[in-house]
Amino acid sequence: MQTISRRTVLAGGAAAIAAPAIGARAATSDVDVVIVGAGAAGIAAARRLAAAKLRFVVVEATDHIGGRCVTDTKTFDVPFDRGAHWIHRPQNNELVKLAEGSNLRIYPAPRGEKLRVPPRRARESEVEDFLTALVRSNRAIVEAGRGRTDTPAALALPRDLGEWKDTVDFVLGPYSTGKRLADVSAVDYARAPERGGDVFCREGYGTLLARLGAGLPVQISQPVKRIAWGGPLSVDTGANTFRARAIIITTSTGVLSSDAITFDPPLPGNYREAFNALSLGHLEQIALEIPGNPFGLDNDDLIYEKATGPSTGALLANVSGTPLCMMSVGGPLARDLAQEGQSAMTAFALQWLDRVFGSGSRDKVKRIATARWSADPFVRGAFSAAAPGRADARRTLIAPLRDRVWFAGEASHETLWGTVNGAWESGNRAAEGALRLIGNIKDDKREPEPKRRTPRRRRDGN
């Protein structure tokens, strides 16, 4: 069995697709806008500024664009989304329209999920019991989130879940939010709108972002060291200093709370509190190449096991009709495995296969690759479920700093947090603010608040 290193993974996919489009030096260090980060929010903002013909530059810490949405096409010779894979709310998702315009193949994800009671398939009555427990639990958290007190989501769970409690905890907690439900705001959870009818991109979600970022003035491998915002605005990477009239910061809250970037002067205390309140959860991917479909699974089957504790995961099988299966682990387990390294993640996945599908199942695996976002110094996690009592922290990040500095990214969206389309919308919103500041947009109408909807059961955080 071959184990693939992170270096091999990063050598393919989005980096290769984007290579001709990025890395061009800006003509001058004086620009209208500096965008920090070339993930979904940064690309969206850059495209909007480019359409308005502003002078801008995007500075990206890593050697590729896409942020937490990157497709590797070389490790398995088929697309492997190392991060985000599920495309939510396609009917209102601008990225779906852009994908179709780029001749990428979008298709609906299967509805529902399948359950195993290791090492066998679940009986119909067991599936019904599990789904009932899941729906009841989801509804209870949503109702709690509509109350006056922002409680931990775990406190809203029905107390009679019995043998399904551990499975429900995993699906609604680590798998959906990247955190234990005890660490998640019920209000923040409830604000996430329903996302039924998800779709997939056959070529990979990261492939889409790489295409959308093609041709933009992105400075790769340029981690920002210092951002001056008290007087004249500037962004310093050590190699370059860019002076600007506006700054859009799309860096993750994991990086912003780590002091990897120095702000001059220091940011107001409410921003530091917001970064901590919106700390990143953990969701990691373990890709398994399993030729021949030995377990008899359908394409894009989502498999849960009846869990007996927090040490569990979910499997997306035969991705887009290929031999690739993607296992997701979340929460503290994902964090710990990522810190221990690739060998620990691989061992966990193989043990899970043997437990869920029967002894010897690990022998069916040909190759394995892992994504370790928690260990990436330029990311430090997955996405930002708010801490109990702190759902309001997103409003701090949405408001501009002295009307010259904007924060954008999934953490800066009050309802679509944890999703690529949420990050994309926040990038567009930040770019609109910068354009108004500079004078390219004179209409200052505020966007209407999104209608509250009931969240879907499976969030997948991407």
Q: Is the dihedral of CA 414, 391, 171, 174 positive or negative?
A: positive
pLDDT at residue number 448: 45
pLDDT for the residue numbered 195? 64
Q: Is 391 exposed, middle or buried (0-12, 13-18, 19+ CB in 10 A)?
A: buried
- CA 207, CA 226: separation in Å to the nearest integer? 31
pLDDT in tens, the chain (462 residues): 433 333 333 333 333 333 333 434 443 489 999 999 999 999 999 999 999 999 999 999 999 999 999 999 999 999 999 999 999 999 999 999 999 888 999 999 998 899 999 999 999 999 999 999 999 999 999 999 998 889 999 999 999 999 999 999 999 999 999 999 999 999 999 999 776 789 999 999 999 999 999 999 999 999 999 999 999 999 999 999 999 999 999 999 999 999 899 999 999 999 999 999 999 999 999 999 999 999 999 999 999 999 999 999 999 999 999 999 999 999 999 999 999 999 999 999 999 999 999 999 999 999 999 999 999 999 999 999 999 999 999 999 999 999 999 999 999 999 999 999 999 999 999 999 999 999 877 554 444 444 444 444 444 556
pLDDT at 22: 40
pLDDT of amino acid 185: 98
Strands 246-249 and 262-264 come out as unpaired
For position 440, what pLDDT does the model report?
74
pLDDT at 148: 83
Domains and CATH numbers, the chain: 14-69+203-279+385-438 (3.50.50.60), 80-84+108-199+280-375 (3.90.660.10)
